[in-house]
Amino acid sequence: MSGLSASEAAQRLTRDGPNAQPQPDQRHWPRILASVLREPMLLLLIAASVLYLSVGEPRDAAALGLSVLLVVGLTLYQEVRAEHALQALRDLSSPWASAWRDGALQRVPATSLVVGDVVQVAEGDRVPADAKLLDSSDLHVDESLLTGESVPVARAPGADDAAARIHAGTLVVRGQAMAEVTATGSGTEMGRIGASLGALNREATPLQHEIRRLVLWFTAASIASCVLVFGLYLTLRGGWLDALLAGITLAMATIPEEFPVVLTVFLALGAWRMARLRVLVRRPPAIEALGSVTVLCTDKTGTLTENRMALTQLLTGGGMPHTPDQELDGDSLSLLRCAALASDANGFDPMDRAVHAVASASLPESTAADWEHLKHYPVTPALPAYATAWRRKHQPGLLLACKGAPEAVAALCGLADEDRSRVLADAASMAAEGLRVLAVADAHTTNADAPDSLENEAFTWRGLLGFADPLRAEVPAAVAEAHAAGVRVVLMTGDHIETARAIAIAAGISDHPEVTLGAALEQLDADALRALLARTDVFARVRPEHKLRLVQALRDAGEVVAMTGDGVNDAPALMAAHVGVAMGGRGTDVAREAASIVLLDDDFASVVRAIRMGRTIFANLQRATRYIVAVHVPIAGLALLPLLLGTPLILLPLHVVFLEMVIDPACSIVFEREPAEPDLMRRPPRPASTPLLDLRMIAASLLLGASAFALVLLVYMIASRAALAPPQTAALAFTALVVCNIALVQWHLAPSRSGIAGPTNVAFWITLVAVLALLACLTLLSAPAQWFGFIPVSLPAFFAAVAAPALSLAGAHWIIRRLRKVRVAGPVPTVPQDAGG
């Protein structure tokens, strides 16, 4: 099979376009701009601009108009940045396909397939395009996505036209096939009925529900306070213009429009940053659940190990083990030949590749050159072994070659008890060395056709194969980090019990693990299984249904479970786990679709990195929301102050816009970039029921905001007693308010560090320098000051307004931190007076 050439495929791709469905949920910048223009903050700014223009204040109207452009630009930048991150995730999550190009089977992006490509599909694959079958073996396809019929249907070449075709989006549930692509993209059956694949899940998450509740509460309070201030101002002081400006300013100061923006930006950019760590987040709730994971269930091959299989031992019926680099005797060559016939030469299974690598170097001629392949017998739960049927050219009869779990192949061969015990002891001895062990057998039959099943055939035992798959170097450190973070690691593998034990010890999962076989789980009721899970971290010879039951039992025990899987039958366990983790390299399409996270490098350490990143994202999101609550208190207080004191308005809509230029970057850039705290992975997992903000946090944030307002009020009162002009007093109060804003950012950035934000957060320092420079221009220079209704203040007064709130909040932060350390450390023990002589 040669397939298309790379150049011909490229020409067809240019002509026909990519093999992709439209993405109706993708937001381009015009659509984002339209949504930005509907923001309440922007509508209030436009209303204030119209109000200024209607009363003959074109300069103030122009200033607000410019601020409208600034708000639109900043919000558009944030939303487009988040959308670009989501698009990058869509590109990463697009499926791959196996296609023949330039005479070789290659893994290519499914979007690059063109009409005329020859593709290979197997159990667990999602069909990448409409295609006509060329060759198949026991192919059954789930077409429920197209037809609604849940029962898989058989497909084979040579049948009627409909039965000889497979369609994009359908799922191969059994068998394998080669097919020629006949339609791609919108030209497929899926495209014609308008279905869309590859779209990210948009389901509302618990965090989104909580943010919506917060927005509703704060919006209701904002509207009520706005109406109240307008009415009181109009009643007590008169002047509808000032009353309306006061109401609009207070509404702008208290509307919590930052909450949904922060959530969108944090989840999108957080998922993008995780993708850079080779962890693809397919569903947003996974980021929320990662920080709460208490149990991490993992398999062995390719996750804990390198998935770099090498055939290192061959053991025949009654001899010593041979290594492939030794001269092999006749029995070992027969074992190797049989193993090669039972392995897919064009497959991606690492053990099949390892067998063929040794066979091509050791056997005198191509193993399959004189053989005609007839049928595959895939692995099933009842018989964990893989077999193929072959007919020797120009000779009667068939050969059945089989390899699989030693105990299954021994049963298939019908070995006597003594022989069975001996070969299983040999397998256990090899497994204790950390080897992956497979048994090999063959059967000869005079039938003309391949049998439907293997159970009634007379198989002959050929021997054992030992495969070495080294432990990944970073796994022991990752397991230790997980344990330090309070995350229990549970190994669930289909390997031999001694292989599982050896890997668990080497990985640091347990020093003396108690290993339970999957078959033993079938004898346990729910209570017995719960008791077993409390003391067992290693399970061997587990099947997918065992994994599902273990995950459900862990969930029932109150654990938050992350589960890794790669096969089509792992999908139920992946969906049952709080966080399903699929293998991106060797996993099947259905496993990736069932999972909420895909590991692009199939590496266990990436799962632990994802947990760390999930905790970091939630911690930073919590900091940002607490800051949002706190920072609106002094802004609202300064907007209300003139009404309480009977003085001219201090805050105007333009002032609030300037403050938003500080708040929005702080939320979406500074907090999002804050690195993890050093002890983050030495803390226990966060309970899954922990809200983003509880009443204690809200009360603490309101109290902190009230403290900041008290400092602003202090600066305002001192400036008023100094007999400064009202615009100068307003300028100094505004200066104190902006500095308090920056101080609140720093306060929430570094709760467990020194009083100054860490030097690693460059975004904070850039924001600080830019804001202070602009603030100095607005309060010290005449022209900018006039735009804000200020009169320039003296340099000493400016520095005093900056230093007073900054030093006060920094000092309070330092005192609180010291008190926390003393409380954590506990009382100092009393030293006896006679101690030390």
Residue identified by tokens 């436009």 is 46
In one letter, which amino acid is 641?
A: L
8 Å CB contact between 137 and 375: yes
Secondary element (H or E) of residue 34:
helix 29-36
Residue identified by tokens 């090498």 is 310
8 Å CB contact between 406 and 464: yes
With a CB cutoff of 8 Å and minimum separation 6, the contacts of 766 are none
Coil, helix or strand at residue 741: helix
Q: How far is CA 222 from CA 215, 653, 660, in A?
A: 10, 15, 16
Count the helices and strands in the chain (H runs, E runs).
28, 21
Kind of pairing, strands 104-109 and 279-281? unpaired
Q: How far is CA 130 from CA 119, 136, 308, in A?
A: 10, 15, 34
Token representation of residue 217: 């509460």
Q: How far is CA 223 from CA 249, 294, 306, 382, 548, in A?
A: 11, 42, 59, 66, 50
Catalytic residue among 125, 299, 442, 602: 299
**Burial label, 345 (beta-carbon count in 10 A; 0-12, 13-18, 19+):** middle
* One-character DSSP codes across 155-202: --TTS-TTTTEE-TT-EEEEEEEEEEEEE-GGGSHHHHTT---SPPP-
Token representation of residue 481: 């980090």
Kind of pairing, strands 538-540 and 488-492? parallel
* One-character DSSP codes across 346-401: TS--HHHHHHHHHHHHHSSS-TTTTEEEEEEE---SS--EEEEEEEETTSSSEEEE
Secondary element (H or E) of residue 141:
strand 130-142
Secondary element (H or E) of residue 539:
strand 538-540
How many Å apart are CA 739 and CA 716, to the nearest integer?
A: 14
The DSSP letter of residue 764 is H
Q: Which residues sit opposite 442 in a β-bridge?
A: 401, 460
Secondary element (H or E) of residue 106:
strand 104-109
8 Å CB contact between 643 and 246: yes
Taking CB atoms within 8 Å and a gap of at least 24, the contacts of 579-582 are: 579/286, 579/289, 579/290, 579/293, 581/607, 581/610
Q: Which of 218, 314, 279 is nearest to 612 (CA)?
A: 279
Taking CB atoms within 8 Å and a gap of at least 24, the contacts of 231-238 are: 232/643, 233/643, 236/643, 237/643, 237/646
Token representation of residue 76: 């558009």
With a CB cutoff of 8 Å and minimum separation 6, the contacts of 786 are none
299 is catalytic: yes
How many Å apart are CA 511 and CA 504, to the nearest integer?
A: 8
Token representation of residue 525: 């009721």
Tally the residues of the chain. 837
8 Å CB contact between 129 and 113: yes
Any idea which residues carry the catalytic annotation? 299
